[in-house]
């Protein structure tokens, strides 16, 4: 019916054609770059404008001066789960796993070490007074006097150990790092963090030291020393194993010996030291009796 008006597109290039397709056919589209998961993965690998701006702003951030509060606030920027995770890592050391790389390096803090040391100070001082009271309980000549000086003595010992020993170890590692290039370097904050968390096991140990049995106390010391000393040894051995063999072994032995000296010294001074408070009253009466007999 249309007659000669039905012409092909080749004969009439300017005409508009309508393509009627079946329901199962898909319309053809012009070739172009594929969209979908592949493009998104490329964007993630190559980065986009937002990530570039974020990295640029992060690089432009300046650290606060050390005399400001914001400078020290970053050392306490840690949540409860991180602290608990680091405490569990210090109580259950994993052979072959570095405590610094596994727990500390991502965000070293001073919150955990500070409060662990503070809790340990009061645990040792209070437990030492209770132990002294229980040992002499029931003696007529004994007069209990709380010794508050144990708090200051324990604080001096614990905080001096938790800061001065890491400072000396950090200086030694820096000096050896200038001699041997393959030595792993730890920051001073990381070393303080390791020593602080390694002291956590002594908090329940100090509470159990109240038991007036020397054998039980020394067993507790050996158990606590085994866990905490192994954390220190396994953490600092990778830092010195590339050094001279004698120097590396001497360093680890020194670390363990200082840790042993701390634990044994606290037990001997605060718990096993003989208290002489009740002796003067016990010896004064016989002397006065002898003097009165001679005078008569």
Scan for tokens 């796993």, then name that residue: 97
DSSP states along 159-227: HHHHHHHHHHHHHHHHHHHHH-TTPPP--HHHHHHHHHHHTTTHHHHHHHTTSS-HHHHHHHHHHHHHH
The closest alpha carbon to 132, from 147, 149, 117, 154, belongs to: 147
76 with 70: CB under 8 angstroms?
A: no
Is the per-residue pLDDT at 31 higher than 90?
no
pTM: 0.69
Quick one: pLDDT at residue 33?
45
The dihedrals phi and psi of 205, each to the nearest 5 degrees, come to -65, -40
CA atoms within 13 A on the CB side of 80: 0
Q: Which residues of 174-210 are buried (b: 16+ CB within 10 A; e: fewer)?
A: eebbeeeeebbebebbbbbbbbbbbbbbbbebbeebb
Question: Two tokens at 60?
Answer: 């432009």
Q: Please list, in sequence order, all residues whose beta carbon lies within 8 angstroms of the beta carbon of residue 26, skipping any fewer than 6 positions away.
A: none
Q: 136-140, 264-268, 285-289: which has the highest mean pLDDT?
A: 264-268
Q: 27-31, 59-63, 112-116, 133-137: which has the highest mean pLDDT?
A: 112-116
What CA–CA distance (Å, rounded) separates 248 from 260? 19
Quick one: pLDDT at residue 76?
85
Q: 90-104, 134-148, 266-280: which has the highest mean pLDDT?
A: 90-104
Scan for tokens 């132990």, then name that residue: 131
Quick one: pLDDT at residue 273?
60
266 with 288: CB under 8 angstroms?
A: no
């Amino acid at each position: 019916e249309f007659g000669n008006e039905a012409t092909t597109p080749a004969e009439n290039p300017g005409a508009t054609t309508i393509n009627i397709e079946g329901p199962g056919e898909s319309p053809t589209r012009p070739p172009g770059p594929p969209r979908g998961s592949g493009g998104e993965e490329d964007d993630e690998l190559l980065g986009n404008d937002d990530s570039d701006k974020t990295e640029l702003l992060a690089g432009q951030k300046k650290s606060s001066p050390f005399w400001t509060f914001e400078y020290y606030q970053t050392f306490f920027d840690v949540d409860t789960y991180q602290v608990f995770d680091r405490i569990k890592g210090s109580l259950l050391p994993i052979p072959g796993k570095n405590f610094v790389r596994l727990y500390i390096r991502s965000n070293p803090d001073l919150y955990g070490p500070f409060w662990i040391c503070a809790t340990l100070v009061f645990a040792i001082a209070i437990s030492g007074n209770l132990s002294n009271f229980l040992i002499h309980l029931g003696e007529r000549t004994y007069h209990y006097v709380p010794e508050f000086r144990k708090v200051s003595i324990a604080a001096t010992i614990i905080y001096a150990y938790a800061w001065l020993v890491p400072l000396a170890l950090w200086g030694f590692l820096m000096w050896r790092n200038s001699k041997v290039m393959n030595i792993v370097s730890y920051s001073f904050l990381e070393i303080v963090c390791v020593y602080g968390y390694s002291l956590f096991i002594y908090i329940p140990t100090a509470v159990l030291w109240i038991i007036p049995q020397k054998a039980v106390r020394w067993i507790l010391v050996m158990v606590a020393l085994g866990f905490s000393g192994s954390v220190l040894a396994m953490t600092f051995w990778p830092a010195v194993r590339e050094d001279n063999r004698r120097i590396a072994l001497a360093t680890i032995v020194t670390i363990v010996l200082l840790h042993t000296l701390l634990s044994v010294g606290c037990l001997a001074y605060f718990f096993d030291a003989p208290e002489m408070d009740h002796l003067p009253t016990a010896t004064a009466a016989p002397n006065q009796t002898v003097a009165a007999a001679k005078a008569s």
